[in-house]
Chain A
Amino acid sequence: MTDMMTILAQTTDTAEALRQTDPSMMTQMVLILLAAAFTENILLTRFLGMCPFLAVSRNLRSATGMGLAVVFVTTGTVFLNSLLYYKVLVPIQAAGVPIPAESLKLILFIVIIAAFVQFMEMLIERISLKLYVALGIFLPLITVNCAILGASLFMVNKDLTNAESLVYGFGAGLGWCIAIILMAGIREKLKKAKIPAGLEGPGITLIITGIMALTFIIFQGMIQT
């Protein structure tokens, strides 16, 4: 019995110590970034953001544009949502107002994402018409990109701080961007291949995505954050 107690005391002590010493902030951030971009790739391991991935990966140019837009929007909205969730929604509920934070956070997040995309659209329109024309068609697709809402929800689930969520959002967007660029590269090569008529387009893309997803499974659990 006493043995057990000492072992227990030790295990809890180490855990306590680990949490308190806070293994250098930078390392933690890098780990969050790498995990979000690769081992927990939001597209290839969580399968979020599939529709724009299939629709816009036809050529490298538009895929890159879409990918970069997603990086930008994900970084911005995850951070914004993190601020609003922890500084507004949670305090309101803590003050005893009977609101279903669990449900309202979904509304909050999706509205912030839509508003952010809309705002970005207006801003780009003002700054550069050329960029607006290039990115314009992607903007509505970004709003319903499940990867972006998913990233915000993961931010809450992972219990990230505001600063961490900025890094996490960037990583998640980056992972999505990498995946769509990879896919576009493959599809460009596929143009030269002979594919049965019925399988062309979405069909073959689905099969390739399936194979890519299987390869990404090996990354699972390589980084523990």
Chain B
Amino acid sequence: MPPANSNQAELSPGRAAIAQLWHENPIFRQVLGICSALAVTNRMFNTLLMCGGLIWATTMSSLTVSLLRNYTPQRVRIMVSVLIIAVYVIVVDITMRAFFPDIHRDIAAYVGLIITNCIVLGRLEAFASKNPTLPSVADGFGAGLGYSFVLMLVAVVRELLGFGTLFGFDLGGFTGWWTGNNYQWVIMIMPPGAFFVLAVVVWVMRGYALRKEAAAEGGK
């Protein structure tokens, strides 16, 4: 389980959201939500859609779980949480199917991925089930945003190196120079590529955090 936040009660909504962006960032602090990160980060546009769906799911389910928190028995807490997540995700699915059928066809596969994204349940368990509504919503939103931030970083690298494009725009010369005409750097497109890029992102960020910590301690 994701580590429970200390001093949750004192967190203001703004702080709850900011904590999720950096100090408690789900990916490089807790390494959660990897499955969906792997699948979609080879194109920035797909990643953006995925992130939107995830932000919606974490925010709305945080709201609902927080509202119900005093009535939900501990025994069925997780069951109720996953049910709520699934419902919000399916709402997105059905709405898209009705109003944006073309996009729906290409990204329908995301739906299942969001439901089982550990970040959503992780935040519900660690925060929303114990805290008032407003901070919970902020926490959920922040977790989604923090996740999106790392995912977009990975996506930039993978799309650029894999396809030689950014948001689908061909960077002409770059493609030719990097991978030759119409060839892709396949390992960046395939899921294992995400592992490697993610590892480097985690490395850089942790290294930076560690250095900052060391500097802070040395300064004392």
Residues in chain A within 8 A of chain B (CB atoms):
47-52, 54-55, 100, 103, 106-107, 110-111, 113-115, 117-118, 122, 137, 140-141, 143-146, 149-150, 153, 196-199, 201-207, 209-211, 213-214
B137 contacts chain A at the CB level, 8 A cutoff: no
- B94→A100 contact, CB < 8 A: yes
Given A107-B90, A143-B121: A50 and B206 within 8 A (CB)? no
Is B210 touching A197 in the complex (CB atoms < 8 A)? yes
Given A202-B202, A204-B199, A206-B202: A106 and B115 interface contact (C-beta under 8 Å)? yes
Q: Which of the residues B125, B198, B210 comes within 8 Å of A140, measured between beta carbons?
A: B125
Among B35, B78, B82, B187, the residue within 8 A (CB) of A49 is B35
Q: Given A140-B1, A149-B116 in contact, is the A202-B31 Cβ separation under 8 Å?
A: yes
Query: Does B51 count as interface, using CB distance less than 8 angstroms?
Result: no
CB contacts (< 8 Å) of B194 on chain A: these are 210
Of the candidates A106, A117, A198, A205, which one forms a contact with B204 in the assembled complex, judged by CB atoms under 8 Å apart?
Answer: A198
Q: Measured between alpha carbons, how far is A156 from B33 in the docked complex, in Å?
A: 24
Contacting A at CB under 8 A, from B35-62, are: 35, 38-39
Rank and list the top 3 A-B pairs by shortest CB-CB distance, nearest first: A210-B195, A198-B207, A146-B116
Q: How far is the CA of A150 from the CA of B79 in the complex (A)?
A: 17
Q: Which of A111, A153, A199, A206 contacts B82 (CB 8 A)?
A: A111
- Let me know if A141 and B202 touch, CB within 8 A: no
Q: What residues make up the interface of B, taking CB atoms closer than 8 Å to A?
A: 1, 28, 31-35, 38-39, 75-76, 78-79, 82-83, 85-87, 89-90, 93-94, 111-113, 115-118, 121-122, 125, 187, 191-196, 198-199, 202-208, 210
Separation of A111 and B84 alpha carbons in the complex (Å): 10
- Interface contact B199-A203, CB-CB below 8 Å: yes
Residue of B nearest to A146 (CB): B116
- Given A49-B35, A206-B198, A210-B192; A146-B113 close (CB under 8 Å): yes
Check if A50 sits within 8 Å of B38, measured CB to CB: yes
B82-A114 in contact (CB<8A): yes
A180 to B139, CA, bound (A): 31
Known: A198-B203, A203-B202. 6 other contacts (CB 8 A): A103-B94, A107-B87, A110-B85, A114-B83, A118-B76, A203-B206
Cross-chain contact B82 with A110 (CB below 8 angstroms) = yes
Least CB distance, A195 to chain B, in whole angstroms: 10
- Most B-side CB within 10 Å, residue of A51, A137, A149, A207: A51
CB A176 to nearest CB in B, in angstroms, measures: 12
Contact partner of B207 among A52, A196, A204, CB < 8 A?
Answer: A196
Do residues B82 and A144 form an inter-chain contact, with CB atoms below 8 A? yes
**Given A48-B35, A100-B94, A213-B191, CB of A118 within 8 Å of CB of B75:** yes
* A153→B76 contact, CB < 8 A: no
**Chain A, Cβ-Cβ closest to B29:** A202
- Give the residue of A49, A110, A122, A202 whose beta carbon is less than 8 angstroms from that of B86: A110
The residue in A117, A143, A204 that gathers the most chain B C-beta atoms within 10 A of its C-beta is A143
Check if B38 sits within 8 Å of A150, measured CB to CB.
no
Contact B202 A47 (CB under 8 A): no
What chain A residues lie within 8 Å of B33 (beta carbons)? 51
**Are B210 and A198 in touch, CB under 8 angstroms?**
yes
Interface pair A144/B28, CB less than 8 Å apart: no
Q: Measured between alpha carbons, how far is A88 from B105 in the docked complex, in Å?
A: 28
Q: Are A199 and B34 in contact (CB under 8 A)?
A: no
Query: How many Å lie between the Cα of A201 and that of B83 in the bound state?
Result: 32
Provide the residues of chain A in CB contact with B112, threshold 8 Å. 106, 149-150, 153
In the assembly, what is the distance between CA of A170 and CA of B95, in Å? 36
Report how far A201 CA is from B90 CA in the complex, Å.
35
Q: Which residue of B lies closest to A206 (CB)?
A: B199
Closest chain B CB from A156 CB (angstroms): 11
The residue in B33, B94, B117, B195 that gathers the most chain A C-beta atoms within 10 A of its C-beta is B195
